[in-house]
């Protein structure tokens, strides 16, 4: 009974779960795993002591065939009560038997539930009950039965608000892992779509599934993903952001090294390129690894519009990137050190607008940028009914009042506004946040060294980007190192019939993504 007392507080240790060396894992886990007893009252005592002060865990005693004692344990609110009554309790209680019921016979003949399996130890029973699956224990049996009747409230499938498109699928991931897996299965129906699961979190017991296409993904990448996920040891995982910070290559870089998305089509297209999708139960955000800088500035709609439109929009997006990063710092540098670069008329106009401003351009820019970021953050955190109104009205009122009072100049307000609009054109929110963070040191560099400071800042960013890797893949690939054949999907969006080769990430297996001669040719006809 000593081992039974250890389980009462459910104070699981690192060794209780997956993610460690096999020999150590087996040795440590066996210390906390106890096989079920033949005596039902002993198993009931252990589980009741484990679930002390858990009134939502229901222990339902009943008789199988009016003869054999049995116990049903389930979590109220996580289990389907109607199905339990209909397909579990009713057939077992009405069973006519003259001998001890056999576990295998019950599994095969009595339970009309598709997902059932035997369990042999108390730890398995605790995990299944906590996950919402009812557990049946029978007197004089060394095995129990877990029934897949978990059911809880879940959100309907909706279009992701942060990744909306004009043309494209309208479905999005939800917080339910099984639903997210089915959405990807719907996109990729091949049996080569494989998945592996593990549990992370001592208390949260969060299920994580990583998916890949066998024959397309590189095995070294797959092993690296598996190793990084396996070594995570934390008390709880509530969102995929927890996992992202544990598995990224350079945690001190402002640039995201793992792509996250709420769109099944984006995840499916990444899988077709040989990437790995990491799904975390309880969040609609799926992680994609590895990723590159250019992937962060590509939207799914680029591939649904005609290639000329997709290329134009991509060029505009890169232009907006430069504006979001460099416009305020360039404005500060020119006003502070390089007034000769401006036409005389424009210089006189700006000088007139700054006559009453008591601050230098550097301080003025920092004040306005901080104010704009505060308004943006307030608009996000406020209730939806008033958030947009506060953002728009706040920006107009504060901007007009600041100009009227002489605290800032009108050109500075316009520069900050254009910069803010340009940052919204970046399709990935985490990439937009990185650019917003880098904007402040660029402004400081411009205010102290002028255009020389801007060039030093740009060089520093480029050098930093060249040092980053995402699961071994260079962050600036395929531009650095240069891979000419893959440049068709970087600065431009080439037509689909010309994208013959798959992007090479860490390996070179299965690089052909389509047959030869796919270019439309009405004169050729069909054979």
Taking only the tens place, the pLDDT of each residue in 89-134 is 888 888 776 566 777 777 777 788 888 888 988 888 998 998 889 9
Residues whose CB falls within 8 Å of the CB of residue 212, separated by 6 or more in sequence, listed in order: 193, 194, 195, 222, 271, 275, 276, 277
Distance CA 73, CA 357 (A): 72
Pairing between β-strand 193-200 and β-strand 144-147 as defined by DSSP bridges = unpaired
pLDDT of residue 340: 87
Residues whose CB falls within 8 Å of the CB of residue 176, separated by 6 or more in sequence, listed in order: 154, 155, 281
Closest listed residue to residue 125, CA positions, set 42, 55, 62: 42
| Domain ranges, ordered by start, for the chain | 2-147, 177-291, 317-473
Matching residue, tokens 């906590």: 130
Residues whose CB falls within 8 Å of the CB of residue 7, separated by 6 or more in sequence, listed in order: 32, 34, 46, 49, 50, 122, 123, 126
Distance CA 396, CA 390 (A): 10
Structure token pair of residue 392: 């728009």
Query: What values do phi and psi take at 303, rounded to 5?
Result: -95, -5
Strands (E), 253-355: 259-261, 276-280, 286-289
Closest listed residue to residue 212, CA positions, set 221, 199, 201: 221
Q: What's the count of helices (H) and strands (E) in the chain, helices before strands?
A: 18, 12
Distance CA 224, CA 205 (A): 22
Residues whose CB falls within 8 Å of the CB of residue 499, separated by 6 or more in sequence, listed in order: 488, 489, 513, 514
Query: What values do phi and psi take at 231, rounded to 5?
Result: -85, 0
CB 323 within 8 A of CB 455: no
Distance CA 83, CA 149 (A): 7
Q: How far is the first Cα of the chain from the last one, in angstroms, to the nearest whole number?
A: 77
Closest listed residue to residue 247, CA positions, set 264, 263, 259, 235: 259
488 SS3 class? helix
Distance CA 10, CA 148 (A): 23
pLDDT of residue 385: 64
pLDDT of residue 514: 80
pLDDT of residue 11: 46
Taking only the tens place, the pLDDT of each residue in 52-67 is 999 999 999 988 877 8
CB 43 within 8 A of CB 50: no
What string of pLDDT tens digits covers the 527 residues of the chain? 444 443 344 444 444 444 444 444 444 444 345 788 888 889 999 999 999 999 999 999 988 877 888 999 999 988 988 888 888 888 888 877 656 677 777 777 778 888 888 898 888 899 899 888 999 998 888 888 999 888 887 888 888 988 888 888 999 999 999 999 999 999 999 999 999 999 999 898 899 999 999 989 989 999 999 999 999 999 999 999 999 999 999 999 999 999 999 999 999 999 998 899 999 999 999 999 999 999 999 998 899 999 999 999 999 999 999 999 999 999 999 999 988 888 888 888 888 888 888 888 899 899 889 988 888 887 777 776 666 666 666 666 777 777 777 788 888 888 988 998 899 889 999 999 999 999 999 999 999 999 999 999 999 999 999 999 999 899 998 888 887 777 888 888 888 888 888 877 666 677 788 887 788 877 765 44
């Amino acid at each position: 009974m000593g081992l039974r007392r250890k389980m009462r507080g459910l104070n699981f240790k690192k060794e209780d779960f997956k993610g460690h060396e096999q020999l150590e894992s087996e040795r440590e886990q066996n210390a906390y795993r106890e096989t079920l007893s033949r005596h039902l009252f002993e198993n009931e005592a252990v589980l009741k002591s484990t679930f002390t002060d858990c009134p939502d865990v229901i222990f339902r005693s009943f008789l199988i065939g009016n003869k054999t004692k049995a116990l049903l344990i389930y979590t109220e609110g996580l289990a389907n009560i109607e199905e339990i009554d209909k397909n579990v309790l009713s057939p077992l209680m009405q069973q006519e038997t003259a001998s001890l019921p056999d576990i295998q016979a019950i599994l095969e003949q009595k339970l009309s539930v598709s997902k059932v399996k035997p369990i042999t130890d108390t730890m398995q029973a605790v995990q299944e009950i906590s996950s919402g699956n009812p557990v049946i224990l029978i007197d004089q049996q060394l095995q129990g039965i877990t029934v897949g009747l978990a059911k809880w409230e879940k959100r309907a499938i909706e279009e992701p608000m942060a990744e909306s498109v004009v043309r494209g699928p309208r479905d999005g991931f939800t917080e339910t892992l099984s639903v997210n897996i089915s959405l990807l299965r719907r996109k990729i129906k091949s049996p080569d779509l494989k998945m592996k699961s593990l549990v992370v979190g001592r208390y949260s017991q969060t299920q994580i599934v990583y998916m890949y296409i066998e024959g397309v993904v590189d095995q070294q990448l797959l092993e690296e993903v598996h190793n990084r996920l396996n070594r995570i040891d934390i008390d709880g995982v509530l969102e995929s952001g927890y996992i992202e910070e544990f598995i990224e290559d350079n945690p001190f870089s402002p640039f995201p090294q793992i792509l996250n998305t709420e769109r099944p089509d984006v995840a499916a297209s990444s899988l077709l390129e040989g990437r790995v999708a990491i799904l975390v139960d309880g969040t609609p955000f799926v992680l994609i690894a590895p990723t590159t800088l250019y992937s962060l500035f590509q939207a799914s709609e680029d591939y649904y519009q005609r290639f000329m439109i997709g290329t134009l929009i991509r060029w505009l997006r890169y232009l907006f990137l430069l504006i979001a990063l460099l416009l305020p710092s360039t404005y500060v540098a020119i006003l502070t050190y390089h007034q000769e670069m401006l036409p005389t008329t424009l210089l006189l106009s700006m000088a007139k607008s700054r006559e009453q401003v008591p601050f230098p351009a550097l301080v003025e820019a920092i004040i306005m940028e901080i104010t704009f970021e505060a308004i943006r953050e307030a608009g996000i955190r406020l209730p939806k009914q008033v958030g947009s109104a506060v953002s728009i009205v706040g920006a107009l009122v504060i901007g007009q009042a600041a100009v009227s009072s002489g605290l800032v100049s009108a050109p500075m307000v316009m520069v900050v506004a254009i910069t803010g609009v340009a940052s919204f054109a970046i399709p990935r929110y985490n990439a937009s946040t990185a650019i917003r963070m880098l904007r402040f040191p660029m402004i400081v560099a411009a205010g102290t060294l002028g255009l020389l400071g801007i060039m030093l800042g740009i060089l520093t960013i480029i050098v930093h980007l060249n040092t980053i890797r995402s699961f071994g893949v260079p962050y600036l690939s395929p531009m650095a190192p240069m891979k000419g054949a893959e440049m068709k999907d970087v600065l431009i969006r080439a037509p689909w019939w010309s994208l013959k080769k798959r992007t090479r990430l860490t390996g070179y297996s299965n690089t052909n993504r389509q047959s030869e001669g796919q270019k439309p040719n009405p004169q050729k006809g069909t054979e």
